Structure 1
């Protein structure tokens, strides 16, 4: 079975000319401006299949509360599905890019990086409209220039997520899956950490650490994503055929600028999940205090600290990751690339962590900061915190990460042309192909859309198309249907003729109540 995966990145956003302007307003400006300039239509999100409060452990908190109806045009609810099949929307006080579904880690890395292109385009669109004196939000002034950061902390005690999603079989025992992943999630930060100035949630203790997110987790398992976070998120919301699949909603990773770190984050996790589903036993790696170990490892820049296992052994993060690598196996060329790169990075980290400064985010950032410390700067100097922030700036002209790339000091795996292509085109091997191409060709006829559905406006009525199979409606299956249809009605007729499930035609009035349901994150 292909391991379909994708990412969700909540970007940091600021307005330097008006630092007190609400981030909910600025995020809404970004999404609505992008929609106005690039799509011509905003797409409502179909919340019918959303279940963010359903827990894999067998309970559903939704039945204990009354869910209000939210106006989809309200401030902070802006949403657009774009040509590459991704979702670009406002989540709390952040612009969020949820990438399209990919069937391998290499593609998932590329379509994740495409989110930076989308965000930069949104910044440019806001600037263009503001220059023309245009505000696309009622009762609000034009938006001042935006700055967007691919990071996870605001420096004031709050953290926002960079989530990963992996489809897996519902037949797989959740306890086995979660316990097999916890030691891996605790230790993989030495490869995928983004690096951070400041210790503690507020960052008020001077120091540098490996992970941006390590200080924000409090338990092993939790349904929460904003408070009392768990190393394993227990949300049971598969965004697919719920009879056959679950989704491992992973909230513990950092947002990566490095293509190597991002590729390994996705590829290593995929391989470990593959191994667990094949019956490989990782129970001997169970940690005694995993939540405490998250912070311990994040603060050890030498990578020499040993953490205690339940069986009494003490192993370093590198040793534990080495054991995981020994037990996984490749099924294709992408897996082989992951295993080879995984081994290369572990060897370099063992020699000297800074030997990976051309590959990984945290060591690249630490190398920059350490050069100032070696010249006498103090770790509490605000200028060093600025280096931390500027590294994650997604503007190629301002970003320290992109400066390292231009100077040949940071290795990339794919070209900017490939990333630009992914920002405008969907992957071909999943339902994201159908979603993206229909958005591109018939965007103004889409009433609502979700990962599993698409509602098309046929004039006096609407048709709802089921997209529950993640590997269905890909280019091979739906390419000719989408590309050859001249009208949306012709597309719906063609889908029905080819056996695609299209629900009974319903009036716009009846449909309206279904698509105004809120998203509880």
Structure 2
């Protein structure tokens, strides 16, 4: 079955000319300016919180206290929300602008739509600056926004960590406890392939040093429902955004935000393959770690990739050896993603010899290679210039970011033509329900009142009320299944009636202005 993958990136946002500016307000500037610049929706579509259940736990309980979903004015500062023509969600999440990519069906697509988020964010920054240059503000009653800088990272250097999350559909026929035990050693060790690199040890970077992962110091438990404190290696949020009887959504919070396309390919691709193997009944219990939380930090600090981890059965294996076991068992189940498997094997070979041999493909070694040029000349690892290198690597501005500079000079490999990413920023995947969500927003944005991953609400009339479309399956409204209906419909309401007539999804009436 298709795995279905999605990513969420909370970007770091700063205003160097005015460090006191509220990131909630500046994030709102970014989202609203993008909405206006792209015509995404003049009324800025509400997010349909009624379909969400963030406190339901995959272990069988629900901490939700209230059953009434909040109704929030989408124009309120701090809750700005845009559904893009690619089917993505771009919104303010606490003190960050967040881009949640549309649902995709393979790892390379996930890489492309994750990278498209950087383009969306850069265009938002440009749109804000156009307002500022005119002395105007996109937020009524607010002064012009200071110049923005945006970073694809996970730490602010002051003790806070913000997420780069992954999402994978999994089958309810798989026992969640079995899945959890099988995947923990993989999540602990995959850092050596997908770590973004970080200057500083400890949550506040209180000790000098460099480590592989930006998230490692913020992981406190093997398993947890929390995402902002007491974070677990495995997150148990049970919010499938699909038929809950058949499907679960593995919400992964332990990964870093990656600039490297290779790191992202391995993040999405290997995790998908491991889930394939678990669901096929492959056994991983012998790879259980004696202390997985401690092992997260141990792996992150092992820059030579030579340290051995103690397993629950007393054996000791290096992180690269554990990953090779995963690759071998995944290959025994399926070798369909040969690019992912081959790339991972090549990188593990290089990491075993000298991690810096991977600096043309992996984020943490690329960053470490840059930093070593300073430390080898005598600069202390705690020097502010080193911290600046760390930050500038994650700068998404293509003219100023260090990662982009490495790409331009051929020192960092890429996998995708930039024009493909340009297209993805505006165009949805064709083989998931994101096609319908993106296309209806492109054609009739002002008729879409609210949306979520599995619903769309469009305006009706005073007699019939509004129309709500439910999409419980991720492949129910692909271009192949419903693309022709867009040309037949005169407006969004008629489109939903045509979808209902064809039996592709469920449409019901909800209270409108006259009800």
TM range (shorter): over 0.9
TM-score normalised according to structure 1 size: 0.96
How much does 1:251 deviate? 0.2
Q: Deviations over 1:422-462 (max 9, x none)?
A: 00100111000010001001111000000000001124321
Q: For 2:72 and 2:467, how far apart are their aligned partners in 1?
A: 23
Aligned-pair CA distance for 1:154 = 0.3
Change (3 A) 1:334 1:127: farther
Correspondence for 2:95: 93
Q: In 2, are the aligned partners of 1:106 and 1:334 still within 8 Å (CA)?
A: no
Kept in 2: contact 1:187–1:320 (CA 8 A): yes
Which aligned pairs between 1:187-198 and structure 2 lie closer than 5 A?
A: 187-198=189-200
Q: Match of 1:105?
A: 107
Q: Give 2:203's aligned residue.
A: 201
Residue of structure 2 in register with 1:24 after alignment: 24
**8 Å contact kept, 2:85–2:426:** yes
Q: Superposition pairs for residues 70-89 of structure 1, below 5 Å?
A: 70-89=72-91
User: 1:36-94 CA distances to partner (integer Å, 9 max, x unpaired)?
Assistant: 11124311001111000000111111137997654443221110100100000000100
For residue 252 of structure 1, the aligned residue among 251, 254, 265 is 254
Contact (CA 8 Å) 1:104, 1:334: kept in 2 or not? Answer: no
The 8 Å contact of residues 500 and 507 in structure 2, kept in 1 or not, is answered as no
Three-state SS of the structure 2 residue aligned to 1:448 is strand
**Equivalent residue for 1:128?**
130
Q: Deviations over 1:107-138 (max 9, x none)?
A: 00100000000000000010111222221212
Task: Give the counterpart of 2:395 among 393, 396, 400.
Answer: 393
Pairing 1:11–2:8 present: no
Point out which structure has higher relative CO (alpha carbons under 8 A, 6+ apart): 1
In 2, Cα distance between the equivalents of 1:325 and 1:184?
10
Superposed displacement of residue 34, structure 1 = 0.5
Q: Equivalent residue for 1:429?
A: 431
Q: SS of 1:370's equivalent?
A: helix
Residues 2-401 of structure 1: matches in 2 within 5 Å? Answer: 2-38=2-38, 39-41=40-42, 42-63=44-65, 70-329=72-331, 335-401=337-403
1:367 Cα deviation from its structure 2 partner: 0.1
**Secondary structure at 1:107's aligned position in 2?**
helix
**8 Å CA contact retained: 2:83, 2:441:** yes
Residue-by-residue CA offset, 1:400-439 (whole Å, 9 max, x unaligned): 0000000000000011111111001001110000100010
2:472 corresponds to 1:495: no
* Cα distance in 1, alignment partners of residues 215 and 508 from structure 2: 46
Query: C-alpha separation between the residues in 1 aligned to 2:66 and 2:433?
Result: 34
Root-mean-square deviation (Å): 1.6
Moved more, 101-110 or 34-43: 34-43
Structure 2, unmatched stretches of 5+, are none
Contact 2:55–2:225 (CA under 8 A) maintained in structure 1:
yes
How far, CA to CA, are the matches of 1:196 and 1:257 in structure 2? 13
CA distance in 2, matches of 1:331, 1:85: 32
**What residue ranges of structure 1 are gaps of 5+ in the alignment?**
512-521
- Aligned partners of 2:514, 2:291: CA distance in 1, in Å? 52
Q: Please identify, of 498-507 and 205-214, the stretch whose mean Cα deviation from structure 2 is larger.
A: 498-507
Deviations 1:372-411 (A, max 9, x none): 1111111010000000000000000000000000000000
Q: Which moved more, 1:329-338 or 1:447-456?
A: 329-338
SS of match in other structure, 2:145? coil
Deviation at 1:472, TM superposition (A): 1.0
Q: Write the distance in 2 (CA, Å) between the matches of 1:2 and 1:381.
A: 47
Q: Distance in 1 between matches of 2:333 and 2:124?
A: 38
User: Which whole-Å CA distance do the structure 2 matches of 1:320 and 1:100 have between them?
Assistant: 32
Secondary structure of 2:50's counterpart equals: coil
CA apart distance, 1:471: 1.1
Q: How many angstroms does 1:502 deviate by?
A: 4.0
Distance 1:91 1:404 in 2: 31
Distance 2:181 2:18 in 1: 46
Residue 405 (1) aligns with residue 407 (2): yes
Provide the secondary structure at the position in 2 that maps to 1:427. coil
Judged with a 3 Å threshold, the aligned counterparts in structure 2 of structure 1 residues 258 and 57 are, in CA distance, closer, same or farther, namely same
My pick for the range that moved more, 482-491 or 435-444, is: 482-491
Counterparts of 1:111 and 1:334 in 2: how far apart (Å)?
21
* CA displacement, residues 190-239 of structure 1 (integer Å, 9 cap, x when unaligned): 00000000000000210000000000010001000000000000000001
Structure 2 vs 1, CA of residues 449 and 252 (structure 1 numbering), >3 Å: closer, same or farther? same
CA distance in 1, matches of 2:435, 2:28: 26
SS in 2 for 1:247: strand
